[in-house]
Amino acid sequence: MPGIFRTIIIVAIGLGLGIGLWGCSSDDSSPTGPTLNSPENLTAVAESDNSISLSWSDIGEVELGFRVQRVLTGGSEWAQVGEVGASVLEYTDTDLEEGTSYSYRVVGFTRTAESGFSNVVAIMTLPVGPTGLAVVDLGGGEVALTWTENSSIEDGVKIQRSLDIATGFETVVELAADEVSYTDTGLTLNTTYYYRVGAFKGDNTSVWSNISSILTISGPENLVAVPEGDTQIILTWDDESPLEYGFSIQRSLDGTAEWNSLASSLDTTYYVDVRLPEGTSYLYRVRSSGRGTESPFSNEAGATTMLSAPQGLKVEQDDPGTLLIQWRDYSDLEEIVALQRSLAESGAFQTLAELPPNTRRYTDSEFSGDQMFDYRVRVVAGELTSNWSAIANVTTSAPPANLRSTVLSDTSIQLDWDDVSDNEDGYFIQIAGAGSQSWLPLSDVGANVTTFSDFRLEEGTSYQYRINSFVGEGDAQVNSPYSNPIIVTTFPKTPTGFTAERASVSAISMSWLDNSRYETGFEIQRALAADGQFESIGIIESNEMSYIDIDLDVNMTYFYRLRANQGMQSS
């Protein structure tokens, strides 16, 4: 019976340990315990700058778990850093220092025993990787990369580039430690590139940074800015990319101050900047955008708005022979007002006057004859100018020439002149007393008329006459300068009731009525026949009304005539 009891106990123990030991001997020695096999094939992978992943093989069947131990490589003070359960064959060690070499070993354990140690592996954590990678298109097949450098132990920085993430990255360049920027050149325009950057120490490379992509979109070129008047600047540029979705425009006062956005998503290569102040300088730049990226800016183009131009230019008659040119002034910056004139048929403007600022009128008398003039005006301040005003034109005619007179009677005269104009619409005739400057309009006559008679005059009175031509009518009428004035004196009134009768055999007595208030005397003339040659026989003082002709031949017939004199004028 004792042998049977021993066998039952051994079976129970064998079932508890799962080893199947069966005692069949009748000796009294103790049973043999289970053997724990050491873990094998321990490997380590550096996952980052502060974590290492471990894995191993388990060839035992009875352990309750595994303990992970760590020591700084080359050290001797092993410490447990982790524990995992049975059948767990991996462990990640965290909170490590970057670029530090650690050694690891693993041991299995039961409640009462431990296995032998696994193989020892040594591994170094990675450098701390760069962060915040950003890529900016510089144009011309160049991009600028920038990032934040976080490692204190790196040997350098690797930059990798890809055209397609699915096909992987290739190293573009390895930079020295602590570099935080790089310019990649020689790229193909209108192509998408992907970049990542990592720190390396020896053969170890950090976790890669974020991936940043850039479309090397072609930027606009040949930006040109041209002022259009005092409130607008016109922008044009060349579209060099087939991929852009639109254009955006920025403006600055001097290129160093803040750039302000004017417009975005434009689908044209033309833009008009409006409502600008006069005489103000601006700088512009434009760039294209497409698929979440923007091209570099174009060249900067500058323009200065023009000064505000004069308006409402008009030309009117001032005095005959002078033209009044007037306009409205809208500029606050002008230093000079420039007035120009041209003969309409030539079109060549010449400066007529440079006037002080804020001048709004000018009188032009420097012309003659049949002419058509164009006028224009603008304002100037240094190198800045306004646009020219709208052109105002006027037509002038030549004044009549060779004004002359014929006295017709004591109450009438006739004026004659030479028409030297080809475009006059008529003539104005003025009259004034001798020595007077108070000219009064007398009459007007039509084009090509060269004579005029004045019948409402006083006898023996001197008058002044002048005449000028005119073109147009109403406010558009322009008068030529006046002719030279002429002075004309009407005849004194002719004596009436002139009779002659024989006073003796050798004398004839004459008498008449004096009708003039202005005569200076009378002249009597005598002839031997009515159609004969009359000769003066006497000058008689004014207001006399009789005369006796003596010492005549007997039996002769005489013919007499009488006129009143006033200076050189005679009735």
DSSP secondary structure letters along 237-260 = EE---SS--EEEEEEESSSSS--E
CA dihedral in degrees (277, 278, 280, 282; nearest 10)? 70
Reported as a single tens digit per residue, the pLDDT across 514-526 is 888 888 888 999 9
Secondary structure element (H or E) that encloses residue 16, with its range: helix 2-17
Instruction: Among 3-12, 261-270, 476-485, name the one with the lowest average pLDDT.
Output: 3-12
Backbone angles phi, psi at 166, to 5 degrees: -65, -25
- Supply the pTM of this predicted model: 0.59
Question: Which pLDDT belongs to residue 28?
Answer: 43
Query: pLDDT category, 291, cuts 50, 70, 90?
Result: low
| Dist. CA 8–CA 61, nearest whole Å | 24
Residue 7 has pLDDT above 50, yes or no: no
CA torsion sign for 75, 78, 83, 85 is positive
Q: 3-class DSSP state for residue 221?
A: strand
pLDDT for 3 beyond 60:
no
In the chain, % of residues over pLDDT 90: 60
pLDDT tens digits along 257-268: 789 999 988 889
pLDDT band at 438 (very low <50, low <70, confident <90, very high): very high
Determine the average pLDDT of the residues in 374-400. Answer: 92
Segment 445-458 shows an average pLDDT of 92
pLDDT at 8 over 50: no
Q: What are the tens digits of pLDDT across the range 126-176?
A: 999 999 999 988 878 899 999 999 999 999 999 999 999 999 999 999 999
